[in-house]
Structure 1
Amino acid sequence: MTEEKVSVTRTIAASVTRVFAVLADPTTHARIDGTGWVQEAVDQAPLTEVGQIFRMDMYHANHPNGDYQVVNKVHVFDEPHAIAWLTGEDKGGGRLEFGGWIWRYDLAPNGPLETNVTLSYEWTAVPQHIRDYLEFPVFGPDHLGNSLDHLAPLAESTPAAGTVSRASSPPRA
């Protein structure tokens, strides 16, 4: 394989700002994940800048501990056009080590209420010592497509910031 990246694109019936807001909220990531590995956001503050660290509780039956935690570092924050993070682990003593793979969402408005979302998984920077025990790509297009399928209803069902849904509006007098 010459390109070390897989990508999938879907059109989501929500504004680009709404889709970005859902992606920048770590508490939504477990519901977006297409594998069921992501369990819960440890750090629940919205993502706001490059370099920001956020942790996620994970579970995978083939992981040595079953339950484990990943640390993510925001790599791209271009609101509302792109957001990406590196995934790694806390080695203790404040030392974080990232595996070299990147999750990236690119958003392009397709009119005021639709967004073309491209999710990419790239592993070009994965060092050889990790490649020796993990076969890449760890995730294929099906997983990415599942994640976008999970993202769509989250973005489509929640009003954009600053709007009031009819269901929560006070009754008219």
Structure 2
Amino acid sequence: MHTVVQENVSATLTVAVPAARVFAVLADPTTHSAIDGTGWVQEAVDRAPLTEVGQVFRMDMYHANHPDGDYRVANQVQVLDPPRAIGWLTGEEKDDGRLEFGGWLWRYDLAPLGPSATGVTLTYDWSAVPPFIREHIQFPPFGPEHLTNSLRHLAELVAATEVSGR
């Protein structure tokens, strides 16, 4: 199920894994490429687990419509409430080290549904995107099914790591 509400879109899926395990996978930037599943998210540059609000982690990206094709984003953790919620703003790091964010937020909310099931809601919120960015990028830059597919990839990845004990 997915929902589009004004300037955000969300999808919810139940996964047969405890919330703490889902959260651990989401807090590991090295899993984000597999969760995304579009090929846009390539590889984590910063591989340390996400442990605090304000933490920055960079990801190598690719998109055919991006002027450079390959590019890098800098994400800053905005929400970190283990095992209930995690979210980050996406932007870029300038040559002088300054971080600039575009105004869009990725957020996962986890609702334990018993000892071995979790409701996961993924929300993409672009309500803070300024007009000058909206002139160049259409929001959302993907269909709502992208979030549902991403949650399915997360469920597969979490189930596989649960079985392997990682």
* TM-score over 0.5 for the pair: yes
Cα deviation for residue 2 of structure 1 reads 6.6
Identical-pair percentage: 67
What are the within-5 Å matches in structure 2 for residues 94-105 of structure 1?
94-105=97-108
Whole-angstrom CA distance in 2 between matches of 1:137 and 1:38: 16
Whole-angstrom CA distance in 2 between matches of 1:92 and 1:129: 21
1:114 paired residue number: 117
Q: Following TM superposition, where does structure 1 have runs of at least 4 consecutive aligned residues deviating by more than 3 angstroms?
A: none
Is 2:30 the partner of 1:27?
yes
Whole-angstrom CA distance in 1 between matches of 2:138 and 2:120: 26
Residues 125 and 110 (structure 1), Cα distance of their counterparts in 2 relative to 1, 3 Å cut: same
Q: CA RMSD in A?
A: 1.7
2:137 paired residue number: 134
Cα deviation for residue 34 of structure 1 reads 3.2
Length-normalised TM-score, structure 1: 0.90
- AA aligned to 1:111 is G
Contact 1:6/1:121 (8 A) holds in 2: yes
**Unaligned stretches of 5+ residues in structure 1:** 169-173
**Unaligned stretches of 5+ residues in structure 2:** none
- AA aligned to 2:141 is V
What SS does structure 1 have at the residue aligned with 2:123?
strand
Cα deviation for residue 159 of structure 1 reads 3.0
Cα deviation for residue 139 of structure 1 reads 2.6
Decide which structure has the larger Cα Rg and report it: 1
1:36 paired residue number: 39
- AA aligned to 2:111 is A
What SS does structure 1 have at the residue aligned with 2:91?
strand
1:62 paired residue number: 65
